[in-house]
Amino acid sequence: MPLLLLDLDNTLVDRDAAFRGAVADFFAEHRLPVSDLPWVMAVDASGYTARPDVAAALIGRYGGTVPAAAVRTLLDTGAAARVVLADSTRRALGEAEAGGWTCVIVTNGRTAQQERKIRNTGLDTLVHGWVVSESVGHKKPAPEIFHAAAEVAGRPLPGAWIIGDSPHADIAGADALGLRSVWVSDGSAWPRQPFAPTHVAHDVASAIRHVLGSP
């Protein structure tokens, strides 16, 4: 069975939209200016900013109005409680399974939060397993996390495909291992890098179907 390794945030699920919704609700609850929403999203940087640094920025800005515990709750559960799985992604994963592919999620982040997203969306019933950087002690693009995913699947890593939205974490990781990859662009242009994906797709469903149709 061929191996397909998939990123979670902003690939399988729209993590940024979920976090934006959580922040909007947080602002409404605490009567904070909605005009600050772009600032919070910039600080968060699609989840790539370390959580303690995001917490410190929010507490520094709103600490006189909002309890620190409320900020930590936002960061710990806000996005995880709101992520949804698009029907097109659900169908594409079903097609991959029907086609004999072994699908494993490979994600950076905290284990409790990432597993909450996987279970809340039902992804746990659609993939063969997952690895989270906090649990394995390695973050993408380190090769160790991809090897750990292959071990979870019980499949060889050579010949696998990697699908993800991050040039640095996903596509660079695939390139270093000599694996084929699909970059989920969401309409963006590929940035100048010393490497490139095998294919570019607008969304993850299209990416999965490209892999299924490849020799």
Examine the fold and report which residue of 36, 63, 82 is the final residue of a domain before the chain moves on. 82
Mean pLDDT within 158-162: 97
Together in a domain, 64 and 164: no
Together in a domain, 78 and 88: no
- What value, to the nearest 5°, has the Cα angle with vertex 85 and ends 79 and 87? 155
Query: Given this model, what pLDDT does residue 214 score?
Result: 86
Q: pLDDT per residue over 19-62, tens digit each?
A: 999 999 999 999 999 999 999 999 999 999 999 999 999 999 99
Together in a domain, 32 and 119: no
Examine the fold and report which residue of 27, 59, 82 is the final residue of a domain before the chain moves on. 82
CB distance 15 to 109 below 8 Å: no
Together in a domain, 59 and 164: no
Together in a domain, 91 and 61: no
* Order of all β-strands in the sheet with 3-6: 129-132, 102-107, 3-6, 161-164, 180-184, 199-201
CA atoms within 13 A on the CB side of 104: 26
Query: Given this model, what pLDDT does residue 32 score?
Result: 97
Together in a domain, 72 and 94: no
Together in a domain, 112 and 189: yes
Local confidence band at 1 (pLDDT 50, 70, 90 cut-offs): confident
Q: 158 lies in which domain range?
A: 3-14+84-212
Together in a domain, 89 and 74: no
Together in a domain, 100 and 205: yes
- Name the residue among 145, 140, 146 with its Cα closest to residue 159: 146
Mean pLDDT within 190-209: 96
Contacts of 137 (CB under 8 A, 6+ apart): 144
Examine the fold and report which residue of 52, 82, 112 is the final residue of a domain before the chain moves on. 82
Contacts of 193 (CB under 8 A, 6+ apart): 167, 171, 172
- CATH number for 189: 3.40.50.1000
Together in a domain, 71 and 110: no
Beta strands in the chain, from DSSP E residues, in sequence order: 3-6, 102-107, 129-132, 161-164, 180-184, 199-201
Mean pLDDT within 183-211: 96
Is the pLDDT at 215 greater than 80, yes or no? no
Mean pLDDT within 108-128: 96
Query: Given this model, what pLDDT does residue 104 score?
Result: 98
